[in-house]
Amino acid sequence: MSPGMPGGAESVADVISFDAGSRRVSIEKGVLTPEETLAARFAGALRRAGVGYVIVGGFVAILFGRIRRSEDIDFLLQPVGFSEFEQLYRCLREEGFNPAPRASPAELYEKAMRGASMRFEFGGMATPYVDARFALRRYQRVALDNALTLVLGGRHELKIPPLELQIVYKLWLGSDKDVGDAVFLYTLLKDVLDHGELESLAREFGVDIDRLTGDEGR
C-alpha cells in the first residue's frame, strides 16, 4: 500500500495549508485550546523520550475545526523496549501525566505489549485524558510510519496519520460519530486528497466511499 499524501502545496481555507514536499499541514491560530495544549504537552514528552507517535481518532477531525469535544486523545506509540519505556514514563510524569489507574512502568509495559491502551490523566482531570497504545497492528504501523506533521499556530508540531487512511478508518468504524468525522474531513479536504489512494484503502477495508458524499444506495 502506498501511503497517501495531499497533492501539491495548497490552501483549503485561509488558515489551513498543505505542503506536499515536506509532508506538513499548517493551521494558523493564535492560541491553543486546552485539548490541543494537552496533546502538545504529551507529544513533547514523547519527543524528549525519543518515542515516535501519531495522533489518531476523533481528535484529528477536531484539530481541523470540528465542533465537538472528545473525552480522550488517542495516541499510537512506536513500540519500544522496557528501558526506553521507563524513560518515557519518567518524561510523562515530569510533564504532569499520570497513569490511571495508577500503575508501575512494568505493569503498564506489560499491558502495552498486549496491544491494550494506557490511560493518562493530566492535572487531576478525569477528562480529557490521553489514551495511548503501541502501534502493533498493520494499519497502526502504516499510520505511524507515514505520519504528516501538523503545525498549529506556527510552532506546535503534532503528528497525524495520512488523511486518506484516517477517513477510511473512520468509515470502517462505522458509528454515526465516526462517519460524521469522515464526512467532515472529506468535505473539508477533498481538493488535496489523493483520491486513488482513498479508493484503494476503501477496497482494502471493505467500505463504501459513496457514504462520504451521501450517494450510498442511490
Partner 1 sequence: MRVSREKLEEERKRLREERIRQAVWEAEMVKKLGARWFEMRDRWMVEAYRADTEAMRNPRIREAVLRAVLASARLREEAARRLDPDLYLHPPED
Among 9, 13, 106, 113, binds partner 1 (CB under 8 A): 13
Output helix, strand, coil percentages for the chain, rounded to the nearest 5: 45, 25, 35
Q: Does 31 bind partner 1 (CB under 8 A)?
A: yes
Among 23, 90, 111, 119, binds partner 1 (CB under 8 A): 119
Interface with partner 1 (CB under 8 A), residue from 4, 6, 16, 120: 16
* Interactions with partner 1, residue window 79-98 (CB under 8 A): none
Q: Are 143 and 155 in contact (CB under 8 A)?
A: no
- Following DSSP, what letter does each residue of 88-145 receive, concatenated? HHHHHHHHTEEESS---HHHHHHHHHTT--EEEEETTEEEEEEEEEE--SHHHHHHHH
Partners of 11 in the β-ladder: 17
The answer to whether residue 120 forms part of the interface with partner 1 (CB under 8 A) is no
- When asked if residue 143 is in the footprint of partner 1 (CB under 8 A), the reply is no
Number of H helices, E strands in the chain: 8, 10
- The nearest distance, CB 129 to partner 1, in angstroms, is 7
Kind and range of the H or E element at 148? strand 148-152
Binding part of the chain for partner 1, among 30-38, 40-48, 79-87, 192-200 by CB under 8 A, reads 30-38
Q: Which stretch binds partner 1 (CB under 8 A): 75-83, 84-92, 154-162, 182-190?
A: 182-190
**Helix-helix angle 138-145:163-173, to 10 degrees:** 150
Q: Can residue 154 be called a binding residue for partner 1 (CB under 8 A)?
A: no
Least distance to partner 1, CB of residue 83, Å: 27
Distance CA 34, CA 143 (A): 25
Task: Judge contact between 77 and 135, C-beta under 8 A.
Answer: yes
Q: Which stretch binds partner 1 (CB under 8 A): 2-10, 62-70, 88-96, 104-112?
A: 62-70
- Is residue 71 a contact residue for partner 1 (CB under 8 A)? yes
Binding site for partner 1 (CB under 8 A): 1, 12-16, 27-31, 33-35, 64-67, 69, 71-72, 115, 117, 119, 124-127, 129, 131, 137-139, 172-174, 176-177, 179-181, 183-188, 214
